[in-house]
Amino acid sequence: MSEAPALVVGTAGHIDHGKSRLVYRLTGTDPDRLPEEKARGMTIDLGFAHAAIDGCDVWFVDVPGHERFIRNMLAGATGIDVALLVVAADDSVMPQTREHAEVLSLLGVERCAVVLTKMDLVDDEWADQVEEEVRLLFGGLGLETLAFVRTSAETGRGLDELKSLLARLAREQTQRRDARPWFRMPIDRAFVVAGRGTVVTGSVTHGAVACEETLELWPGGQRVRVRDLQSHHSAREAAAGRMRLAINLAGVGQEEVHRGCTLATPGYLEPARYLDVWVARLRMPGKMRRQELRLRLHVATSEVLVGLRLLEKPAADVVQGQFAQLRAAEPIVASWGERFILRDESGSRTLGGGRVLRPVGRLWTARHPAHVEGLRVLLEGSPQTRLEEAIRAAHWQPVDEKRLAVLAGLDDEKAAADGCRRLMGAGKIRVLEAASVRLYIHNSHLQALADDLTRRLKQYMVDNPRQPGVPRSQWPGWMPGACPARLRPALAEWYLQSGRTTLVHDHVAPAGEKAAMSADDQGLLERVLAEFDAGAFQPPGLEALKCRTPRNQKRVRELVDLAVVRGELVRVADGLWLHRRRWDELTQRVAAAIRARGQLAVADIRTLLDSSRKFVVPIVERLDAQEITRRTGDFRTLGPKAPA
């Protein structure tokens, strides 16, 4: 892999100002590759060329200047390191000069040099006036000029100066390399090579890739294999950093890939229909100042119709600095901070642009309005606070470290994992894990859940006075439905450990509160217990209880269940209960008799308890189940849990 300094240069400027001719003189390659372009002498689609300049690899993306092909220019402006705004000295600033300069400003291109072409047609005094017009244009757009270079493709004037500038910028670019190690390349061309299959090209945004690696092709997300790599007709085993790159893909047909698709390292990107954004500047497309508009979105190399909803109704014909939501007609992928351009619905005028704040958003509604504080954090906050906001916005949806890195604008999954550990250490988030699912959850959601559960628990205790609380087995079902089912038991257990609840006989109740049983219920319960105690080892069934009446039979059943939970009754089998005192007495008698005799038959136990086979058989089965006794043929011996 070449370690030479590299630079991706994009041209911009009005039609017939000499962009393609300039690229040809710098590289020896005609970027106009289509027969129609050669016939008409006009660039229609993107053109590409490469030159080795003073030991540096410089790739050129030549864009069309005609207003009808501005959509192609926008695709080519993605992923460039430096822009060359080409202005014909004999023509000065023209409409597409202005539009291209505005696009560069909205895309956040920080390094832009102005190249005056056709200097053989004017004198230097005239060129001074042209440069002044360009300075005024740049000043209004907030663009800074790296340099003005006066050239002539006919005489060769200024070409060596421009090459020296590009070589210097390439060496500087090495120090400015994007730190993100995961690979991403928006695709601007796709074609078939006979015998090799589908080939795609694009400007690498960041990261590294190698032959035989697996990538994801978005927005569909299908896995594809890298068969071969090539850069400027030179085969490579691997590639890293910003450059022009051709990738031969296996596992995908040409009909499945097109300009606007993106190749990326698996796990990082996620398609979305809703994006929360910061609109830096937007001109109203008509006379009406509307809060909701239908526009055409250009992000990376993709172009899609969107509905734009501004957070506030526009107060002027030009909106500057406002939050908004984009609702795309089809899924797209983006990263935090990515720049975009907005054009009118017909694609004839550039209206504005901005930055993506939330690449995967949720539709703004009356129930779920825009979270302005969170959007402000994403716009102005530090990487750590952006990560916290990304976790907060995910609510109960598990988002792994790779996607958190994209949502918060961090380098990679390691940076996201380190940030999550710091947030956990600061008490800002918690992590729940179960069955290979990990959920980072913001404390604000846990606090809201805790308040809601406490309120519901207290109401449950009021509505169910004969219950000690919610059965623990049912407790996970109280967790939010939005929480993945596999994580609800872990969340339920976390809440039990939070100190807001207490376990009463394996039932969940609010901490510090007891069931408020009425005096009537308490009296009825005492009479029920007394009857079971008096029944000894031939206890009454529910229907036989003397205190039971047609009016209180439901209360009696609920009180029996409560007594079982509280340990005052022991459920032996369906419809059979013993008083706790009688059960303890029974186990002591049986254990002592077995120790004295060695073993007991069911008939022996029946005689011992002065009971009947109707009661003794289920009692003996219960003793076996609790390992107080052990069955050996028709006899019972002592089990490991027999009382001493």
Q: Is 176 exposed, middle or buried (0-12, 13-18, 19+ CB in 10 A)?
A: exposed
pLDDT computed for residue 342 by the predictor? 94
Q: Under the phi-then-psi rule, with left for phi > 0, alpha for psi from -120 to 50, and beta for the rest, what region is 258?
A: beta
Output the six-digit token pair for 252.
């995908």
Cis peptide before 383 (omega within 30 of 0): no
The topology under which CATH files domain 376-438 is: Arc Repressor Mutant, subunit A (1.10.10)
Which residue, among 582, 472, 566, 570, has the nearest Cα to 521 in the 3D structure?
A: 566
The topology under which CATH files domain 445-510 is: Arc Repressor Mutant, subunit A (1.10.10)
Q: How many residues does the chain have?
A: 644
Strand, helix or coil at 424? Answer: helix
Sign of the CA dihedral with 309 first, then 311, 314, and 317 last: negative
Q: Secondary structure of 15-45 in the HEC alphabet?
A: CCCCHHHHHHHHHCCCCCCCHHHHHHCCCCC
In the chain, the largest separation of any two C-alpha atoms, in whole Å, equals: 127
Is 242:253 a contact under the CB 8 Å cutoff? no
Instruction: Spell out the domain ranges in the chain.
Output: 6-175, 184-264, 272-375, 376-438, 445-510, 526-644
Strand, helix or coil at 587? Answer: helix
Q: Enumerate residue ranges in the chain where pLDDT < 70.
A: 1-3, 31-46, 64-77, 175-176, 512-516, 549-550
Phi–psi pair at 487, nearest 5 degrees: -100, -10
CA distances from 616 to 265, 598, 620 (A): 69, 19, 6
Q: Strands, DSSP E only, in 268-404?
A: 272-283, 292-299, 302-310, 318-332, 339-344, 350-358
Rounded to an integer, what distance in angstroms lies between the CA atom of residue 392 and that of residue 369? 15
Please give the radius of gyration of the chain, using alpha carbons only, rounded to the nearest integer: 38
Rounded to an integer, what distance in angstroms lies between the CA atom of residue 243 and that of residue 350? 27
Rounded to an integer, what distance in angstroms lies between the CA atom of residue 202 and that of residue 184? 10
Rounded to an integer, what distance in angstroms lies between the CA atom of residue 403 and that of residue 425? 21
Which residue, among 37, 56, 57, has the nearest Cα to 47 in the 3D structure?
A: 37
Which residue, among 32, 72, 68, 36, has the nearest Cα to 259 in the 3D structure?
A: 72
Element (H or E) spanning 101, and its range? helix 95-106
> What count of other Cβ atoms lies within 10 Å of the Cβ of residue 526?
12
Give the strands of the sheet with 470-471, arranged side by side: 470-471, 507-510, 501-504
Q: Strands, DSSP E only, in 481-617?
A: 501-504, 507-510, 569-573, 576-579, 600-601
> 343 - beta bridge partners?
296, 350
Q: 272-375 architecture in CATH?
A: Beta Barrel (2.40)
Output the six-digit token pair for 378.
């994403």
pLDDT computed for residue 80 by the predictor? 82
Q: Which CATH superfamily groups domain 184-264?
A: Translation factors (2.40.30.10)
3-state helix, strand, coil in the chain (%, to 5): 35, 30, 35
Output the six-digit token pair for 315.
């107060």
Q: 6-175 architecture in CATH?
A: 3-Layer(aba) Sandwich (3.40)
Does the structural domain 526-644 have CATH classification 1.10.357.10? no
Q: Do 6-175 and 272-375 show the same overall fold?
A: no
